Structures are given as C-alpha cells and as structure tokens.
Structure 1
Amino acid sequence: MFNIFPKRKPDIPAYDYDPEKEIPVIRASICNGEQVAGFKNKKTGTFHELVLIRDEQDINAFKNAFGLNEIKKEY
C-alpha cells in the first residue's frame, strides 16, 4: 500500500574511519540540543561531521555502520 509518510532511513555517508588516528564523538550543542556524530582527529582535534542525530535510531545506525560500541559525547 502507498504510504504518504514513509519511515526515514538514516543515511550514513561513506567514510574511511581509522581507529588509530580518530575517535568517534557525538558533538552536542548546549544552546539548542542539536547533536552531530562524527570522528575527531586525536592529533589535531579536527572534527569530521557525518550524521545529524535526531533520535536513538540514528545513534545505533552510526554505531553499526562503523562497528562501534560506545561514543564519547562533547559539548
């Protein structure tokens, strides 16, 4: 049957994650609560934004896409 509002699937862009050089991070805004998942370079501190986090499903999709167990949260 036709669905006007199909369930969205989080799109995880392709990214070459190197656990030796980067750590997974969720960056959260203290102003509006917006959360973004990505990877932070251990040496330079550069953050590569990959996914806007809207709910727990987005966090789980990000973890599954890159084989992660836990993600550090920064404000």
Structure 2
Amino acid sequence: MAFSLFHKKKAGQPVHMEYHGTPVIRCSICTGEQVAGFRNPDGHVEEVMLLRTPEDLEQFRKRYGITGEIEKIY
C-alpha cells in the first residue's frame, strides 16, 4: 500500500484574488526596482509582487484582473 503525503498541484485556472485599492507600481529612483501593489485610500501601499521582467507585469495583471493603465509612483 503506497501513498504520498505530498501531492502535486493540479494545473488549472490562475487564481483571481481581490484587493481593495488602486493598483500601482512603486519604482525606486536609485536602483530602478519595480514592485507592483495596491494603494489604500489612506495612501499606504500593500506590495504584492516584485517586477523583474515584462512577463511579471502581465502575470500581475492576469492574476488580479487588472486592465488599463497602472499608475507609477516614485
């Protein structure tokens, strides 16, 4: 009798997560690092994902259902 304690994840639809706030990209003027996240009405930014490539930005858009322009803040 063989069984496994750990199971592989099944490939499926990407998980659509909801966040309250405006999607923004926080950019560092010194290093050029970009982080995607959501800005709350009080101005606090909840960082969600580090953006290293344009594909990361597309993945962020797809995961959170974002269409249109994303504001960049420095």
Q: Could you say which TM-score interval applies, normalised by the shorter chain?
A: 0.7 to 0.9
Identity %: 47
Unpaired runs of at least 5, structure 1: 1-13
**Runs of 4+ with >3 A deviation:** none
1:18-38 residue CA offsets vs partner (Å, 9 max, x unmatched) = 2xxx10000000001000000
Write the letter of the residue equivalent to 1:73.
Answer: K
TM-score under structure 2 length normalisation: 0.72
TM-score under structure 1 length normalisation: 0.71
1:14-60 residue CA offsets vs partner (Å, 9 max, x unmatched) = 85412xxx100000000010000000002x10110110000100000
Q: Which structure has the bigger radius of gyration?
A: 2
1:1-75 alignment, distance < 5 Å: 16-18=18-20, 22-42=21-41, 44-69=42-67, 70-75=69-74
Aligned residue pairs: how many? 59
Alignment RMSD (CA, Å)? 1.8
